[in-house]
Chain A
Amino acid sequence: MAVPKRKMSRSNTRARRSQWKTTAATLTTCPACKGQKLSHAACPTCGTYKGRQYAEALRTEHAG
């Protein structure tokens, strides 16, 4: 099995990890409450989607 010959330096490790980036989610405004929501999903603020109510979607204080 092929294995690395040398220990990777902290510098190289960190240089590689510096490319780990996150991107912001694209959000839309809820037509019912004007809050921000993900598209194609029920609104986490008011729980509506296409005029229907989904209490399961409501954001609790612990949810991420």
Chain B
Amino acid sequence: MPTPTKGPRLGGGPAHERLILANLSTALFEHGRITTTETKAKRLRPLAERLITFAKRGDLHARRRVLTVVRDKGVVHTLFTEIAPAMAERNGGYTRITKVGNRKGDNAPMAVIELVTEPVSPKQAVVKEAEKATKKSAKKAEPKAEETVETPAEATEAPAEAAAETTEEKKEA
């Protein structure tokens, strides 16, 4: 039995849903930031982040896989040449969803989904690492050699993203 899609279904059928998500991801990569309903934003996030992961891989095969979703070659080009290098330091959590209240007309909860453009702050990772190190050394009562600051954990978004990544594994773009 196939695993059901996480989150609500969109549109009038599977093809419609694929089209909605493809168009949303195209618009997101084109503009960097789009306003949509909360539900669509939540469905878009795993797909968009998966596409960015492909873009970071950067080879021809990855480009062809992205092109099966984002049909616009110009947008795919910007994704591979501009967005992917900007996300090089970031391990997941490429997008951010912010709720912006309800829409006039049908009172639908709206959200802004945007690409995270801020540089990865190494601060939180360093602080966490330092705390861990001090705890360890205090326990062992031996000075631990300083660990290098290569921990990727971007504290706030990393766990959520990990979850998103796992859920999208079963969904073949």
A positions within 8 Å CB-CB of B: 38, 40-42, 44, 49, 52, 54, 56-57, 59-60, 62-64
B positions within 8 Å CB-CB of A: 35, 98-104, 107, 110, 112
Contact A57 B101 (CB under 8 A): yes
| Shortest beta-carbon distance from B51 to chain A in Å | 23
Q: Nearest chain-B residue to A59 (Cβ)?
A: B101
Contact B98 A63 (CB under 8 A): no
- The CB with the most chain A CB atoms within 10 A, among B100, B101, B102, B103, is that of B101
| Interchain CB contact (< 8 A) of A49 among B98, B103, B107 | B98
Contact B35 A63 (CB under 8 A): no
What 6 A-B pairs come out closest when comparing CB atoms? Answer: A57-B100, A41-B99, A63-B104, A56-B100, A56-B35, A42-B100
B-side binding surface: helix, strand, loop or mixed? strand
A-side binding surface: helix, strand, loop or mixed? loop
| Shortest beta-carbon distance from A60 to chain B in Å | 7
List of A residues within 8 angstroms of B100 by Cβ: 41-42, 54, 56-57
| Interchain CB contact (< 8 A) of A54 among B102, B104, B107, B112 | B112
A64 to B99, CA, bound (A): 16
Q: A56-B35, A56-B110 are in contact. Are A41 and B101 (CB under 8 A)?
A: yes
| Shortest beta-carbon distance from A39 to chain B in Å | 10
Contact A63 B99 (CB under 8 A): no
A32 to B35, CA, bound (A): 22
Contact B110 A62 (CB under 8 A): no
- What are 29 A-B interface contacts by the 8 Å CB criterion? A38-B99, A38-B101, A40-B99, A41-B98, A41-B100, A42-B98, A42-B99, A42-B100, A42-B112, A44-B101, A49-B98, A54-B100, A54-B112, A56-B35, A56-B100, A56-B110, A56-B112, A57-B98, A57-B100, A57-B112, A59-B101, A60-B104, A63-B101, A63-B102, A63-B103, A63-B104, A64-B102, A64-B104, A64-B107
